[in-house]
Amino acid sequence: MRSTLLGAALAVTLASPAAASFQSCVAGLKQEAAQQGVSRAILDRALDISAPDEKVLRLSTVQPEFKTPIWDYLAFLVDEERVTQGRAMMRRYDSILRAAERQFGVDRFVIAAVWGVETDFGQEAGSSFLPHALATLTCASNRRTSFWKGELMAALKLVQRGDLSLDKLYGSWAGAFGQTQFIPSTYQRLAVDFDGDGRRDLVSSVADALGSTANYLKRAGWRQGESWMFEVRVPAGYNGPTGRRNKAPLSTWAQRGVTRADGSPLSGGAQAGLLLPAGPNGPGFLVFRNFDAIYSYNQAESYALAISHLADRMAGYPPLRTPWPTDDPGLSRAQRLQLQKLLIAQGYDIGEADGKIGPATREAIAAAEQRLGMPPTGRAGNRIYRALGGR
Ligand SMILES: [Ca+2]
């Protein structure tokens, strides 16, 4: 037995020093987790991995070669379909959302909007097995390895603690998982058992996921009853202060010529910053302390704008008043899917239509644009959509 094991280890070493070093790294992770109280039974099942997950490594090094315009990003995340479905989900989970709003003081439309943007209301939570993904990132990537190791340990402890079984640890390649995509360390710190069954299960329990999101936003500084954002209009050619952190009272913004989107005056002392994500000729937004709480969920202003706007739309507010400064607006998810079908019908080989605009779709769009005598942008916008017969 002993000699067989040694033989196997030797063979691996001879075959590939990288594989052997990966395996010894994983063995080290198991030992460290065991010392932190995770059982051998859990570890043997969780870290039954002999080579890095190549897909995770690939995803972790992808540089976004395509800068998404803000109007594309919002057209995708806040389309009519998501607004309608969001309203239906809010009716269905009304008592949970109201209970979370009461207990944590966080507006229920914002809680639901996080859910809608993160996983399309629980439908797209990711398919990477977290222990393998995080072990891969710890042992085979060369960036942020101590961060990934911490996330791996946190994930294993959630299982050890009895919050989740191993087979629920599926999420994004970078470790975010569950209905509202917490990373394991955040889960460990801030998840709550909101349905009262004794376990914090943000994968299968909508109540636990929504309660935990409310708790997150509360801890991020949410102020009960205050605004998060509203659309405004700035004077033509505005070149005054902007930025989330450049906050001033509404009365100061009024002096600078800023009005509500419908032209009505601003007043009051609430502190807000001005965002002009597409410059002074596009929609403007005054954003408040609660916007910063939403921002902290994913550290991106476009993300916080999408959550804020989806919350408003689900609450019954109209679409943005000021159009984006483009003659080629973005597409909804349904239109993206339709665009792919139109490309396939024209003979472009982009695989199956799935509504996800990847490199193959972008190449086909650029080719179609060229064929139609349009500048080849590769972007899934309204112009190519119409040109191919979409409506
Ligand atoms: Ca629970």
What's the 159 CA to ligand 1 centre distance in angstroms? 14
Q: Which two tokens stand for residue 324?
A: 């984006």
Residue 244: phi and psi, rounded to 5, are -60, -35
What's the 338 CA to ligand 1 centre distance in angstroms? 39
Tell me, what's the pLDDT at 39? 98
> How many angstroms separate the CA atoms of 209 and 337, rounded?
29
Q: Which two tokens stand for residue 74?
A: 């919002």
What's the 204 CA to ligand 1 centre distance in angstroms? 9
Residue 282: phi and psi, rounded to 5, are -105, -175
**Taking residues 248-256, what's their average pLDDT?**
97
- At position 246, the amino acid (one-letter code) is N
Q: Which two tokens stand for residue 314?
A: 């689900």
Residue 280: phi and psi, rounded to 5, are -70, -15
> How many angstroms separate the CA atoms of 378 and 368, rounded?
9
| Mean pLDDT across the chain | 94
**Taking residues 204-212, what's their average pLDDT?**
98
> pLDDT tens-digit profile of 9-41?
444 445 577 888 999 999 999 999 999 999 999
What's the 129 CA to ligand 1 centre distance in angstroms? 22
Question: Is 90 exceeded by the pLDDT of residue 64?
Answer: no
What's the 81 CA to ligand 1 centre distance in angstroms? 29
What's the 89 CA to ligand 1 centre distance in angstroms? 19
What's the 301 CA to ligand 1 centre distance in angstroms? 31
**Taking residues 306-322, what's their average pLDDT?**
97
Tell me, what's the pLDDT at 65? 63
What's the 96 CA to ligand 1 centre distance in angstroms? 12
Tell me, what's the pLDDT at 19? 83
Question: Is 80 exceeded by the pLDDT of residue 7?
Answer: no
> How many angstroms separate the CA atoms of 136 and 56, rounded?
7
Tell me, what's the pLDDT at 17? 77
Question: Is 50 exceeded by the pLDDT of residue 3?
Answer: no
> pLDDT tens-digit profile of 101-128?
999 999 999 999 999 999 999 999 899 9
What's the 207 CA to ligand 1 centre distance in angstroms? 7
What's the 198 CA to ligand 1 centre distance in angstroms? 6
Place of tokens 């998840």: 191
Question: Is 80 exceeded by the pLDDT of residue 1?
Answer: no
Tell me, what's the pLDDT at 276? 97
Tell me, what's the pLDDT at 291? 98
> What is the DSSP secondary structure assignment for residue 328, as one 8-state letter?
S
What's the 223 CA to ligand 1 centre distance in angstroms? 26
What's the 203 CA to ligand 1 centre distance in angstroms? 10
> pLDDT tens-digit profile of 145-198?
999 999 999 999 999 999 999 999 999 999 999 999 999 999 999 999 999 999
Question: Is 80 exceeded by the pLDDT of residue 69?
Answer: yes
Model confidence at 84, pLDDT cuts 50, 70, 90, reads very high
Question: Is 70 exceeded by the pLDDT of residue 225?
Answer: yes
CB 308 within 8 A of CB 227: no
Evaluate the CA torsion angle 98, 99, 105, 110 in order and state its sign: negative
**CB within 8 A of 385, min separation 6: which ones?**
331, 335, 338, 339, 342
Q: State how beta strands 243-249 and 271-275 pair.
A: antiparallel
**CB within 8 A of 173, min separation 6: which ones?**
55, 56, 59, 60, 126, 128, 133
> How many angstroms separate the CA atoms of 109 and 98, rounded?
10
What's the 16 CA to ligand 1 centre distance in angstroms? 45
Q: Environment class of residue 178 by beta-carbon count within 10 Å: exposed (0-12), middle (13-18) or buried (19+)?
A: buried
What's the 201 CA to ligand 1 centre distance in angstroms? 5
CB 42 within 8 A of CB 160: yes
Q: Out of 56-70, 102-116, 260-274, 341-355, which region has the weakest mean confidence (pLDDT)?
A: 56-70
What's the 131 CA to ligand 1 centre distance in angstroms? 22
